[in-house]
Amino acid sequence: MPSNIQKQFALSLNYCGRILEVEGKHVWGTSGFVDEQGRVHVYFSNWSMDDARASWVISCKVNYAIAESLDSEFVDQGTVLEGAGGDCWDAWSIHNPCVHKVGDKYVMLYMGSNGNSFELTKRDLNQMILVCENEGTFNPPNERTSNMSEDEKHRVELAWDSYTKVVESKRIGMAIADKPSGPFVRIGDTPLIDTGLPGEWDDLVTSNPAFCVAPNGQFYLYYKAWNKKSWQEKHGNRKYGVAVSDTLEGPYIKSDANPIVDFEPMGEHCQLEDATVFYLNDQFHMVARDMGLQDHVRGIIMSSIDGITFNDPELAFHGVSQYSDETIVELKDMARSGNYERPQIIKDLDGAPVALICASTGGKYGTSSPVLFKIDESKLK
């Protein structure tokens, strides 16, 4: 049976419009919190338009911005976390931050990547993919490459294969700061959530973290994953698992119930991603992007008593056209038009949701930027 919050969540959203539109930048996953003075702190993944659109996994950084309130302008304060470089597991890209205030600490979960295992530099791969994107050839090898010269075919296949290897390097890390502005210090020199053993559901990738402090004080870290088998057969089936720790910095122990959210039995291409989790009215609530259950445009919300067994999904939010009359921008090789993605709940000091921020292509620069919805808390009680 749906919880009251599931029934009311979509009705509680009040569309406010775009924030953090940065000329020359793609801005994507945005997460944050409200402080004691009512100021809103957010952390957003971004990469240059001079790079490939696929560079979210190659050269993305996380910047920090602050606003006096949800109604005020967000002012960019600069980069607070970027690729560690060298041979680090997160040497290249830092993407899709999930940031919370926990006690007197500021905690960032993130997805990191590393492409150091092959001969191309970040710059070389960026430029190679950018050329392919502009000519419409950045896709898995197919019948189009069969008509190319050997040199062209090699270039296109190298770009796609190298990009795929970087995607396969995605893992989850944690960084902690004493102030909202940082510096954020990485925890450990290995991923916080690594892949599973060969043959397990999460043996290829861990990504897109969500975080929630349970009533008993334990820390729940939710993560997206898929395995090598599904990746090779159908480009992956995205599912969610959870890992739990008694201490903030871990270790986080994966649940025996994983994957805790798995839509594959409902259809071959039914999946989800971009979860965010909050605790309210004695239940955990997960908001995520739908990927084939209803469609690929809307969001879903599920509820759980224990944070592990979630009920059937309900509608969390609609697509762009239901809230805005802005022109839908079609970005070549970035099939995101009309969607709201990477939903993130902004909470107040009591943990109650006060806003939803999603990423969406479009805006005044024709790139991508966050969209803000205020949440009418009275409808969730």
CATH of the domain at 285: 2.115.10.20
Q: Which residues pair with 356 in a beta bridge?
A: 345, 373
Instruction: Indicate whether 130 belongs to any domain.
Output: yes
Specify the range with the lowest mean pLDDT, choosing from 31-35, 52-56, 215-219.
Answer: 52-56
Q: Nearest-CA neighbor of 33 among 278, 345, 373, 347?
A: 347
pLDDT value of position 267? 86
As a whole number, mean pLDDT of residues 34-44 equals: 98
pLDDT value of position 235? 77
Instruction: Indicate whether 208 belongs to any domain.
Output: yes
Sheet holding 253-254, edge to edge: 205-213, 219-226, 239-245, 253-254
**Count: domains in the chain:** 1
pLDDT value of position 332? 53
Instruction: Indicate whether 381 belongs to any domain.
Output: no
| Residue 140, helix vs strand vs coil | coil
As a whole number, mean pLDDT of residues 42-46 equals: 99
Instruction: Indicate whether 380 belongs to any domain.
Output: no
Binning pLDDT at 50, 70 and 90, where does residue 333 land?
very low
Binning pLDDT at 50, 70 and 90, where does residue 109 land?
very high
Specify the range with the lowest mean pLDDT, choosing from 57-61, 210-214, 216-220, 292-296.
Answer: 292-296
Percent with pLDDT over 90 in the chain: 80
63, 377 contact by CB (below 8 A) = no
215, 306 contact by CB (below 8 A) = no
Instruction: Indicate whether 345 belongs to any domain.
Output: yes
Instruction: Read off the pLDDT of residues 183-230 as tens digits, 9 standing for 90 and up.
Output: 999 999 999 999 999 999 999 999 999 999 999 999 999 999 999 998
Instruction: Indicate whether 172 belongs to any domain.
Output: yes
Instruction: Read off the pLDDT of residues 237-285 as tens digits, 9 standing for 90 and up.
Output: 899 999 999 999 999 999 999 999 999 999 878 999 999 999 999 999 9
Specify the range with the lowest mean pLDDT, choosing from 14-23, 101-110, 331-340, 350-359.
Answer: 331-340
DSSP-derived letter for residue 53 is: G
The beta strand positions in 72-189, using DSSP E, are 75-81, 94-102, 105-112, 171-177, 185-186
Q: Which two tokens stand for residue 163?
A: 């990009």
Specify the range with the lowest mean pLDDT, choosing from 81-90, 144-153, 167-176, 238-247.
Answer: 144-153
pLDDT value of position 147? 79
Position 71 pLDDT exceeds 90:
yes
Instruction: Indicate whether 313 belongs to any domain.
Output: yes
Position 336 pLDDT exceeds 70:
no
Report d(CA 59, CA 126) in Å as an integer.
Answer: 8
Instruction: Indicate whether 53 belongs to any domain.
Output: yes
Q: Which two tokens stand for residue 36?
A: 């004691």
Binning pLDDT at 50, 70 and 90, where does residue 345 land?
very high
The domain in which residue 256 lies consists of 4-375
As a whole number, mean pLDDT of residues 343-353 equals: 94
Position 334 pLDDT exceeds 80:
no
Position 14 pLDDT exceeds 50:
yes
Mean per-residue pLDDT of the chain: 94
